[in-house]
Chain A
Amino acid sequence: NAGVTQTPKFQVLKTGQSMTLQCAQDMNHNSMYWYRQDPGMGLRLIYYSASEGTTDKGEVPNGYNVSRLNKREFSLRLESAAPSQTSVYFCASIPRTGMNNEQFFGPGTRLTVL
């Protein structure tokens, strides 16, 4: 199992450009999450998908959109990138079965917006 994979690993954008961050998991997990982490800070939830076909806003959704393409894939889109969106983005998943809250994280995407 590859676990949670994210592409790309690094990206530099100019202000106003758009891009999509891809995330996929091969563990048959029901719930998926997108976080951003700024230097010296904890992770802040952007959007999440509790199950296939549903998405909900997290703590910091402005400037982002998401798509739960199928059970495996959950993408994050920046329609018009801003310097304030410079951050490291992590995707995660949880099985949502039983009493286990263990989140599995991807390696992250380091995004710089100039």
Chain B
Amino acid sequence: LAKTTQPISMDSYEGQEVNITCSHNNIATNDYITWYQQFPSQGPRFIIQGYKTKVTNEVASLFIPADRKSSTLSLPRVSLSDTAVYYCLVGPAGGSYIPTFGRGTSLIVHP
């Protein structure tokens, strides 16, 4: 399983763009990168998944360089409600995937 490394915590202010980077140096050829968001007292919620280059949805963008050894979750114009823990997971799609959550990145958005 590819090990991931993320910053333990980050601070931002309302209206700013936040970029959270995840390192996964031993990512395998068939691995996908998936990000989750978790609010206190709730289960994690899927944000975005990608394999290479850039993926964008209504919530976030995911940037993956050509070597795929890292990825960056980009949250545009954050608000107080984006205060949460963000997890980066790496693994193969399909039957052999065993999700492994690290400690994630605690993002605090200030007024």
A interface secondary structure, majority: loop
Point out the residues of chain B lying under 8 angstroms from A42, CB to CB: 87, 101-104
Whether B43 pairs with A106 at a CB distance below 8 angstroms is yes
Q: Indicate if B99 sits at the interface (CB-CB under 8 A).
A: yes
Q: Cα distance A42–B89 when bound, in Å?
A: 12
**Number of contacting residues on B, CB 8 A?**
25
Point out the residues of chain B lying under 8 angstroms from A99, CB to CB: 32, 51, 93-94
B interface secondary structure, majority: loop
Point out the residues of chain A lying under 8 angstroms from B97, CB to CB: 31, 94, 101
Contacting residue for A105 out of B45, B98, B102, B104, CB 8 A? B45
Query: Which segment, of A14-22, A44-52, A70-78, A79-87, faces chain B?
Result: A44-52
Point out the residues of chain A lying under 8 angstroms from B100, CB to CB: 45, 59
Provide 11 A-B residue pairs closer than 8 Å at the C-beta atoms, listed in order of the A residue.
Answer: A4-B43, A42-B104, A44-B101, A45-B99, A59-B100, A98-B94, A99-B94, A101-B99, A102-B49, A106-B43, A107-B42
Q: Chain A interface (Cβ within 8 Å of chain B)? A: 4, 31, 33, 35, 40-45, 48, 50-51, 58-59, 88, 90, 92, 94, 96, 98-108
